[in-house]
Amino acid sequence: MRDLSVLLTFMAAASSAFAAGPTYPPDPFNDADFKDAPLILDVSHPSRGRGEASLMYAGSVIDKYTQHRGLMLQFDYAVTQTLGVGLTFGFMHGQLTNIVTDDAGIIGNKVGGPAGCVTKGWPNAPECQDINPNVPDYKQMTGVVDALVFWQPLYGKINVVSELDVNLQAFVLAGLGINGRRKIEATVNDHPVAPSDYTLAGGGLGEGGLFGDPNPHLTLGTGLQVFLLDWLSLRAEVRGYISRETFQFEGDSVESSYLAQYWFFQTGLGFILF
Amino acid sequence: MSRVSLKIVGLVLFSATPAFAADLPGDPGAAPDAKATPAKAEAVDPDLMKKAADESIYVVQRRAYSKSRSFEATPFFFTSLNNKFVGHLGPGVALAFHARENLAVEVVSSIPGATVGFYSALVDEVYRQESLTPEDVDLKQVSYFGGLALQFSALYGKFEFYGWLIDYDFYATIGFAGVSTKETCFPGRDEGCSSDADISTGRGLRVPLTQGDQWKLAGQMGGGMRFFFSDFLGLRLEIRDIAYADRAFYQGVTTTDTRGNVFFILGVSVLL
């Protein structure tokens, strides 16, 4: 009986723990470990004054007659926490798409189609003299140089695994620049019998020069930068080049101008220099 | 075992119980606190902050909102990205049930009759400049899609926008869908062809005469990002590829292709 009374006394004393909600000290470990605002606002990779060199692989998307692959070298400097400037140098190597080059494509039809060179009679038929596609946006970009302004208002963190704190920054960009252009020339082979009897010239690596046939353009883009290390980041972005081109559309007596667009997805590494 | 020992064990167990009763809001090891109110920031010694700089993960782990056991309704607008020959745009709606914080089942549907299809600039250019047209199967357009998908969102984090914290997560989605298609035709000449024709090519659209050429079983796969501005309202950006084997039969000629329609989807998410 006496043992029971001791136990009841302890139980009564213990029950007071349920009577009121627990109180939590704001910093139980004295390490400032869970102060919400200061921690998320703790920018591990501050932008202001940061200089960075990036090397990116670029590939065109939504290709019509030409697909591009290339390399971009970029230097950025962040003037403020959210604004930066940059300079981009790029080299593009383009190839015609199968819409142009297939047997049933544009050139294939000009060579071996019902109204093509083979049907009309090589070599004197007018259809054999020019088998190049007569379409806009046919020229390929070669060299690119851009002066850019970045706006990077979004700085964040992502929880990749439970304790890995990965910082990232989203940005939009705009700029002006110049790109070189080149044109692939198609000629019909001697004694053609099939739609594929033609030769393409001028599409080799470096052919057309870096800034031959230069054209100014407007650059627009958006992207994301993931900081892997203090000095290394991963960049992924979509970038568009909008330029004024001229072309004589069917039915028009003279060439008229239009806005040509080339869109690229590019990804690569950024090296934080300072 | 003596009675005294039993009493001590009982006492220890009793006194330990409250520790298991609830997660501590400030406990670093606790599960992410769904509706946690941010702790009031107090002045912190800068040296202490510097020392703790590498431990800044907990606020990222703590979510301002929770999707678990919630329904998410998302009215959205979509447009196709890979408009080689045809493009699409229109409205739709998605309803997802989040069985867990990172796993959801989603039903998605475009609004029947509201999808707008169009021929790309390339179709117009090669027709006008070169008197060529793509194969008939390449000119078929999506008139409706709907399906079921599983959504897995393993990555989440927070963005700071001029001092405003925005929660977000990345997700991947995979599933199947049904797609209804329309085929190209010439008004006034072909049975069932629409009266309105494309200005450039003179082509109209019709429901394929063979049901097998209208409805397609498709696979859908994609990924996206979900931003939440409050505990119930957010924004979804998504890329979704809906792929299916397609066929067109026109004037005795059959053409086939595997179509992959890549849609960009922009939606407003409401957690119910």
- Interface touch A31/B51, C-beta < 8 Å: yes
ipTM given for this complex: 0.71
Q: What is the pLDDT of residues B177-203, one digit of tens each?
A: 999 999 999 988 888 888 888 888 888
Q: What is the pLDDT of residue A6?
A: 65
Q: Which of B48, B130, B165 sits opposite A106 (nearest CB)?
A: B130
Domain ranges of chain B: 76-271
B58 to chain A: which residues are within 8 Å by CB?
Answer: 33-34, 39
Identify the structural domains of chain A with CATH numbers, from first to last.
49-272 (2.40.160.20)
Structure tokens of B73? Answer: 């309704």
Q: What is the pLDDT of residue B237?
A: 95
A252 to chain B: which residues are within 8 Å by CB?
Answer: none
A250 to chain B: which residues are within 8 Å by CB?
Answer: 128-129
Q: Which of B28, B121, B168 sits opposite A33 (nearest CB)?
A: B28
- Interface touch A165/B57, C-beta < 8 Å: yes
Low-confidence ranges of chain A (pLDDT < 50): 15-19, 21-22, 24, 34-39
Question: What is the distance between the alpha carbons of residues B255 and A244, in angstroms, rounded to a whole number?
Answer: 37
Q: What is the pLDDT of residues B144-160, one digit of tens each?
A: 999 999 999 878 888 88
Is the domain spanning B76-271 CATH 2.40.160.20? The answer is yes
- Interface touch A156/B158, C-beta < 8 Å: yes
Beta carbons of B36 and B23 less than 8 angstroms apart: no
From B106, B78, B81, B74, select the one nearest B91 (Cα to Cα): B78
Q: Read off the pTM.
A: 0.72
Low-confidence ranges of chain B (pLDDT < 70): 1-64
- Interface touch A36/B81, C-beta < 8 Å: no
Inter-helix orientation angle B3-21/A2-19, to 10°:
10
Beta carbons of A124 and A132 less than 8 angstroms apart: no
Question: What is the distance between the alpha carbons of residues A84 and A152, in angstroms, rounded to a whole number?
Answer: 8
Q: Which of A6, A25, A135 sits opposite B126 (nearest CB)?
A: A135
Rg (chain B; Cα; Å): 28
